[in-house]
Amino acid sequence: MEYQLTADVTPASGSPALDPLQQHGVAALLDEQLDLLAGIEGPDGLEVEPLDHRVAVHPGGAVITWLLDAPALAFAEEAARHVLTELLGQNELLGGWEVGRCEVIATDDDLEAALSDAEVVDDLDEDDEVLSEADQAALREDLLASADRLRAVGPEAFGHDPADPAPAVSLEAARLVAGALVQGMENLTDDLFGDVQDLEEAEEPVAELDAVNVLDQLPARYADHYGPLFAKQFLVTTAILGYRLSQPGWTGPLCTAEALALHLLKNQALLQLEIAGLLDELPVKQVMAAFDEHVLGGLEHERLYDDIDGGGAGGGEDDIDLLGTPGLDFDEWFLPRNAGDVLHPYLGVEDDGE
């Protein structure tokens, strides 16, 4: 059984708040140590297998969200607490750090729902409380600070109307979502590096693998085309998107793949807002609808997710009417939408083996 577990780790009582550089260092240390864990021995020698993890660091410590495969909930919690305590004790740079709350917050079914942007918004249990109030406040401030790095669009792109004395979307709400997009881009990039590695090692497309980090969130009908080269090209596209979002001015997606990268980025942003406990507080659907209208430039990439005949993965182009919709054909995903644009030489590379 798979369980999603959340653990709070904090420095010694009385320690000063972590500055941004220290937060980055702590995140790197914890991420590196968790990556090295191949398995955890639980009670009575039972094996608990780490499947995936995320580390969110804030001024008062860190929150580790961990996906574990364990025989039972209690085994997952006890084994995770033990290994995290041991990990912190063995690392001199984290001397004095302690494990606070360490508990399962979701099963594998709950986690699958959390990876869907609609289900994240609609189905999140109101009684689930991932963080303490102090931790939530710290993560809120971290998101607001990150918002300044999203320079391509302003608050109006998230539905904020500065001329309205009582706007439906407040300035703070717009900035919180902007910050979540910035932090989501960091996680999306990391996850894509992982997918590239997994696909290269397997020498198979996404359709043949049991699980990947994020590429399975792309239209399922083309999953048999998402091989190692595609993953690298999509990573390049996402890197270009991240750079463009950090620069002033926005001109709409340069290609269909970039629009799809925006789709994945929004999923990541929703997870950041979920971790911070903000989904119930913010008008997320309204904000994301305004964001789509502002940034997509009329591109109808979401039609690629339509399952007209229930074809699912591998359904291919025959399941969808692409006539009159340039760029939706799979072979055109990395082509520039405007004839005068030049994206990146690597996006023109073809692989005869895929």
Helix H or strand E encompassing 40: strand 40-41
Picking from 282, 19, 266, the residue whose alpha carbon sits closest to that of residue 138 is 19
Per-residue pLDDT of the chain (354 residues), as tens digits, is: 677 778 888 998 888 888 888 888 898 899 888 888 766 665 455 677 888 888 888 888 888 888 878 777 767 788 888 888 888 888 888 888 998 878 775 444 444 444 444 344 444 444 444 456 777 788 889 999 999 999 999 999 999 999 988 899 999 999 999 999 999 999 999 999 999 999 999 999 999 988 888 999 999 989 999 999 999 999 999 999 999 999 999 988 999 999 999 999 999 999 889 888 888 889 988 999 999 999 987 777 778 877 544 444 444 444 445 444 566 889 889 999 886 777 898 998 887 654
Task: Residue 28: count other Cβ atoms within 10 Å of its Cβ.
Answer: 12
Task: Residue 162: count other Cβ atoms within 10 Å of its Cβ.
Answer: 10
How remote is the C-alpha of 239 from its chain's centroid? 14
Helix (H, G, I), strand (E, B) or coil at 7: strand
Fold of 2-114: Alpha-Beta Plaits (3.30.70)
| Predicted local confidence at residue 138, as pLDDT | 85
Q: What is the largest CA-CA distance in the chain?
A: 65
The span from the CA of 26 to the CA of 182, in Å, is 19
The span from the CA of 48 to the CA of 326, in Å, is 48
Helix (H, G, I), strand (E, B) or coil at 29: helix
| Predicted local confidence at residue 122, as pLDDT | 42
| Predicted local confidence at residue 114, as pLDDT | 43
| Predicted local confidence at residue 115, as pLDDT | 42
- In the chain, where are the structural domains located? 2-114, 139-348
Helix (H, G, I), strand (E, B) or coil at 205: coil
The span from the CA of 84 to the CA of 6, in Å, is 12
